Structure 1
Amino acid sequence: MPHGQGHLLLSEPGVPAPRVDGLAYDYASDRYAILRHGGGGAPTSIVCGTVRFGHPAARNLVALLPRTIVIEGSPGSASPEADWMRSTLRLIVAERRQLRPGGEEVITRLSDILVIQAIRSWIADDPAGQTGWLGALQDPRIGRTMSLVHRDPAQPWSVASLARETAMSRSAFAARFTELVGEPVMAYVTRWRMQVALDWLRTDDVPVAVLAARLGYASEAAFSRAFKRAVGISPGAARRSPPDTLRESPHLAPA
């Protein structure tokens, strides 16, 4: 459930379902718990977890995902994705049965892998995963450009310098980037920098001038002007605003 909407899990249509947050849990730690509920029918075991994405690229990805991702496949299925996910779930359950030293860390890492496997499966199988921002990331040349910008947003990128990285002419590169990503390359560079800045403002208690330098801006004033154009409020206001009430400009959303 990539967007975290409320939902129902039922054994059959019409069966009453209580709110899960009102039931009693056996807490193994402050992060892991066991819930036992119901009775009288065939037992069903469900492994549930919550994953929070903080990095701007991950938030871009989540915004593009469907309401639900379903990986189908019964035991013995020829689907490698379903087999990998069953194996990962078995490892999680095995760790949980006997929580040994480091077990919580193992479960956390395996859960990360499980989510990545599910998203990869969706990208490979769903036409929506082959277009727009995700499709551009998979293009050998444009995807490399985007990765360079993601890894080092402070570089003084230009259309010419990024074209050189892809061994394309400036005009051909610019046209190809706009075609696949849906916006000009320098607009994407600026938008990415503002996404990174927003993430740092929420998590990093350093002066705005330091953030501006990290992102390659010559002055705090130049950075603040660019930030306000993209996000709609100043960096200081963004830092003071709770994450769930911060108004992000639609220009920060992936194409």
Structure 2
Amino acid sequence: MASAPQVPASTDRLARVLHRLRLRSTFYCHAELTDPWALEMPAIADSISFHVVTAGTCWLRLPGGDAVALTAGDLALVPHGQGHDLLGSRDARPGPRVDLLPQHYVTEHYSVLRHGGPPAPGDTARTAQLICGVVSFDEPAARELLRALPDLLLIGGDTVSVASSVKDTLRLMAGELAHPQPGGEAVATRLADILVVQAIRAWIAGDAASTSGWLRGLQDDRIGRALEAIHASPGDEWTLERLAHLATMSRSTFSARFTELVGEAPIAYLTRWRMTTAASRLRTEEVTAARLAVELGYQSEAAFHRAFTRVIGRTPGAVRRDREDAATPSRSAETLPESPIEQRY
């Protein structure tokens, strides 16, 4: 009996990262836009903005770039928290910030926006409909993957190479919005979550092989072994010698190869990974800085505190308070004012 084909270890490592992709929804908006219109999408740190065109056409423009056309069925992801413009026409001037416009808040995290000029009688071709959202990922490996994404990830609805799963999700989302039913907005936002993960997977399958950086390092047989060991046990007493031994390389060759692929030295990466792990746990768990210091291999809480503040740019206490503030009960959706989105972050 023939044995099953062996799956490369690099493929296993990438599959494990993709399996852990869990996003945190921040805000969704169903936008109905009538010519002439333009919107400014604000920059939001550590997030991905996405736009699904469910009807009509529009243009997306990144800072300093040319406008890119989007048509019904297209999906655009803007990683890295970049601000950008959505436009009704290619040469439209920048519009108002979307979070400063009046809109109907269905829930605290979902709104309906109607914006633009009055349509001509019976004219539906001049109206664009989009689902826009802002999401982020807390899991450290997912965050590293997002750092590897291009400034704009565009998946065309009419592109033959687009995975059928992406097309199916786009069709389901368009159907939910075209024929509203009770709970339709909840279904649409859940589908949007799925769509973002599917888009990232489709990009990896198609274009990621040519990238450098962390993703390429993960797929390298030797450097990938060291990366996964750090990910699995960040609190171990890792040294350059131990990591090089794991990769079956000399220290100098390992350090040079790791830095070339990943973009930073092994010990610098280890420190940053420990701190992003700590930040993620502070956002999601009831855990103290003292406990994290021990679990992540630091001799004292003070040493951990210094490293965390240097890498993350905030103290452990400030990050923990974010979670506590988010857990504070808010008013019901029915009493929410039509206030700027930015007040909800």
* Structure 1: runs of 5+ lacking an equivalent: 243-255
State the Cα deviation string for residues 105-157 of structure 1 (Å, max 9, x = none): x5454323322233344445557961122321232332343233223312333
> What is the CA distance between 1:194 and its match in structure 2?
2.0
State the Cα deviation string for residues 53-88 of structure 1 (Å, max 9, x = none): 3333444444444432222352xx42133x432211
Partner of 1:78 in structure 2?
160
CA pair 223-182 structure 1, distance change in 2 beyond 3 A: same
CA pair 222-50 structure 1, distance change in 2 beyond 3 A: closer
Do residues 31 (structure 1) and 125 (structure 2) align? no
More helix as a share of residues:
1
CA distance in structure 2 between the partners assigned to 1:33 and 1:235 by the alignment: 33
CA distance in structure 2 between the partners assigned to 1:71 and 1:58 by the alignment: 20
Residue 157 of structure 1 is aligned with which of 238, 243, 265? 238
CA pair 181-63 structure 1, distance change in 2 beyond 3 A: closer
Q: Is contact 1:61–1:134 with CA below 8 Å preserved after alignment? A: yes
Do residues 54 (structure 1) and 138 (structure 2) align? yes
Residue 44 of structure 1 is aligned with which of 101, 122, 128? 128
CA pair 11-87 structure 1, distance change in 2 beyond 3 A: farther
Q: Which amino acid aligns with 1:78?
A: V
> What is the CA distance between 1:193 and its match in structure 2?
0.8
Residue 249 of structure 2 is aligned with which of 169, 186, 202? 169
Do residues 68 (structure 1) and 152 (structure 2) align? yes
Q: Is contact 2:235–2:295 with CA below 8 Å preserved after alignment? A: yes
Q: What's the % identity of the aligned pairs?
A: 46
Any residues of structure 2 matched to 1:156-235 within 5 Å, and which? 156-163=237-244, 165-166=246-247, 168-171=248-251, 172-202=253-283, 204-227=285-308, 230=311, 235=316
Q: Which amino acid aligns with 1:8?
A: L
> What is the CA distance between 1:5 and its match in structure 2?
0.8
CA distance in structure 2 between the partners assigned to 1:69 and 1:91 by the alignment: 21
CA distance in structure 1 between the partners assigned to 2:161 and 2:312 by the alignment: 43
More relative contact order, 1 or 2 (CA 8 Å, 6+ apart): 2
CA distance in structure 2 between the partners assigned to 1:70 and 1:108 by the alignment: 19
More strand as a share of residues:
2
CA distance in structure 1 between the partners assigned to 2:166 and 2:134 by the alignment: 16
Q: Taking structure 2 as the reference length, what is the TM-score of the superposition?
A: 0.54
The worse-fitting range, judged by mean Cα deviation, of 130-139 and 219-228 is: 219-228
Partner of 2:334 in structure 1?
none
Q: Taking structure 1 as the reference length, what is the TM-score of the superposition?
A: 0.70
Number of aligned residue pairs: 235
Q: Which amino acid aligns with 1:53?
A: F
* Structure 2: runs of 5+ lacking an equivalent: 1-77, 324-345
Partner of 1:141 in structure 2?
222
CA distance in structure 2 between the partners assigned to 1:15 and 1:224 by the alignment: 46
